[in-house]
Amino acid sequence: MSNRITELFGIARPVVAGGMAWCSGWRLAAAVTNEGGLGLIGAGSMTPDILEENIVKCREAVQGRTYGVNIPLANPNAAKVMELVEKYRVPVVFTSAGSPKKWTSWLHERGVKVAHVVASSVFARKCEEAGVDAVVAEGFEAGGHNGREETTTMCLIPAVRRATTLPLIAAGGIATGDAILAAEALGAEGVQIGTRFAFTAESSASEAFKRVCLNLNEGDTRLILKKLSPTRLVANKFRTVLEEAEARDASAEELLEIIGVGRARMGMFDGDVENGELEIGQIAALFKGRDIQTVAEAMAEMQAEYNAAKERLKEF
């Protein structure tokens, strides 16, 4: 397939692996890139030293193919991360959680392709004004941090498509080949997949976290923490404590105190699946009872599903 997304990033498949905290290390990024997609290293959960190590290893593993780094602009280390992008000539940067105006021109001056993640058509237009190369529209179904608008992917993608002429990547609730085809029908030219790659063998998340994600029922994730930053979390002891606090109208300060420091690492990386923060998308329930796959197996399955869905539509 060739379209504006594949041409922009120099990839064979318009599939991006989301740069997820505690999941998207160099192994996952390299595996997706080597399968023809665009792998992203998730800088949000890495110190600059650890990120540098991941960039070096990813560069070696992809052997000249395109990879990238996802940078939450609210990260206090964002400036240091940008220095690493310049030092290692990282070809692609996806930004989120901040204004795209701040770094886009600086990155373009260094030959970097830039995409920005949004949750509304309003911010998609701001991305076009800022000069980014592509926009990622992420719907309410996605895991982790979400937009306050709570717009579903099926509503968001056509709205963003009407709002901007930028190459458009759909995200949120996309984990199968037929979902990729549906996103294209809505106006997207590529997809960003997080949840399905989060529980692949190459994900840096703990096996305990992956097993929990592969045993979820519909409704086992919920968007909470709306006083802070809306976040989709798996049901566990920690989420119950947060929900009880929200039910009594706890202040933002109290919620921050409950969360403490390192709660996401505790759950997703260290494997404390009851007391840690577990972030995953709604679509995880579709894979209940499945085994942990490699990226290659997941990509091959999505390709087969995509092809079958196209054939099936010919009957209509």
Predicted confidence at residue 30, as pLDDT, reads: 98
Predicted confidence at residue 194, as pLDDT, reads: 97
- The arithmetic mean of pLDDT across residues 245-254, rounded, is 95
* SS3 assignment, position 94: strand
Predicted confidence at residue 80, as pLDDT, reads: 95
What pTM was estimated for this model as a whole? 0.95
**Could you tell me what percent of the chain has a pLDDT over 70?**
100
Report the C-alpha gap between 137 and 189 in whole angstroms: 11
Average pLDDT score over the chain? 96
Report the C-alpha gap between 257 and 238 in whole angstroms: 13
Q: pLDDT class for 75, splitting at 50, 70, 90?
A: confident
**pLDDT tens, residue by residue, 267-285:** 999 999 999 999 999 999 9
Report the C-alpha gap between 178 and 303 in whole angstroms: 9
CB neighbour list of residue 203: distance below 8 Å, 6 or more residues apart? 23, 24, 25, 27, 28, 197, 210
Query: Residue 175 pLDDT more than 90?
Result: yes
Query: Residue 188 pLDDT more than 90?
Result: yes
- Identify the sign of the CA torsion 293, 299, 300, 305: positive
Q: CA angle, 253 as apex, 250 and 258 as ends, to 5°?
A: 75
Identity of the residue numbered 37: G
Angle, helix 252-259 to helix 237-247, in steps of 10 degrees = 170
CB neighbour list of residue 127: distance below 8 Å, 6 or more residues apart? 100, 116, 118, 135, 164, 166
Q: pLDDT class for 51, splitting at 50, 70, 90?
A: very high
Q: Contact, 135 vs 113, CB < 8 A?
A: no
Report the C-alpha gap between 255 and 240 in whole angstroms: 12
Predicted confidence at residue 74, as pLDDT, reads: 87
- Identify the sign of the CA torsion 205, 16, 98, 158: negative
Query: Residue 1 pLDDT more than 80?
Result: no
